[in-house]
Structure 1
């Protein structure tokens, strides 16, 4: 749980009283590799902080080979189907554990209580939502402004963990190409 505090305190310091109140609302959740953290059609009830593992955001298709991967989250990052969480509506995508994963989670109801009863609550909510937004915004801009080759090369600098730990078929989907096109890109740069 200390990782969450350190992460938050990179931006703002937290009093011991606020930390005790906030951390009392966190629950540790664990998932096995390939388990669904959130299924399509379920309403997201948590904002979580990954303590260990990797998760993938995916839009499932009838043909599993055509599933669309549109995001990843790693250790020491916030994760949520944030649109579903905020709107209290069913998610239009899934979150899958790519590896065994453990995360500290706060429920929607508990987060609302933290917002109301602690000085730091709104700052924590803002920090987590800003970080989730920045990841999403950066990806959208990349898809609009860069070639597939540029997106792939950028992964080496922006998200080196991605290249090392994620199956190539998911990376291909993430950068918006087929696995065969990714293979050609990789040959061009090697």
Structure 2
């Protein structure tokens, strides 16, 4: 839980009183490797901060090999099916633990209370939503502007641990190519 406070305090100081209320609303949730954090059709009830582990965002298909991976979250990052969280409507995608994931979560009603009763509440909401928006925007721009090879190189440069810790089939899906095409890209680069 200390990591969340450190993350927030890189931007703004948090009073002990505000931290007390906010942290009292946090719930530690743990998901074992390959378990679903959120299913398609469920409404997202949490914004979470990953303490350890890796999660992925995916659109499941009938054949597992055809699943579309469109995002990853790591330690010290916020995670949420944020569109579902905001609209209170069922999610059109799934969140899955790629490794054992431990996260600190705040529920929608509790976050509304933190917004109302603390000076930092809105800042916490803004920080998490800005981070989620920037990741989404950067990915969309990359898909529109970069070649598959460039997307792979960007990923390797920006998140080198991702390449080591995530199965290549998920990385291939994330950059928008087949595993065979990723294999050819990797061969050309090396």
TM-score, normalising length: structure 1: 0.99
User: How do 1:144-163 and structure 2 match up within 5 A?
Assistant: 144-163=144-163
CA distance in 1, matches of 2:69, 2:161: 16
1:12 aligns with 2:28: no
Shift of residue 101 of structure 1? Answer: 0.6
Helix, strand or coil: the match of 1:62?
A: coil
CA distance in 2, matches of 1:10, 1:68: 34
Match of residue 83 from structure 2: 83
Match of residue 28 from structure 2: 28
Shift of residue 159 of structure 1? Answer: 1.3
Shift of residue 173 of structure 1? Answer: 0.1
CA distance in 1, matches of 2:105, 2:37: 12
Question: How many residues are aligned here?
Answer: 190
Cα deviations by residue, 1:78-103 (Å, 9 ceiling, x for unpaired): 00000000000000000000000100
CA distance in 2, matches of 1:160, 1:128: 23
1:126 aligns with 2:122: no
Structure 2's unaligned 5+ residue stretches are none
Match of residue 114 from structure 1: 114
CA distance in 1, matches of 2:70, 2:89: 20
Match of residue 178 from structure 1: 178
Structure 1's unaligned 5+ residue stretches are none
TM-score, normalising length: structure 2: 0.99
Match of residue 166 from structure 1: 166
Structure 1 ranges of 4+ moved more than 3 A: none
CA distance in 2, matches of 1:116, 1:160: 40
Cα deviations by residue, 1:57-94 (Å, 9 ceiling, x for unpaired): 00000111000000000000000000000000000000
User: How do 1:18-97 and structure 2 match up within 5 A?
Assistant: 18-97=18-97
CA distance in 2, matches of 1:142, 1:102: 30
Shift of residue 11 of structure 1? Answer: 1.1
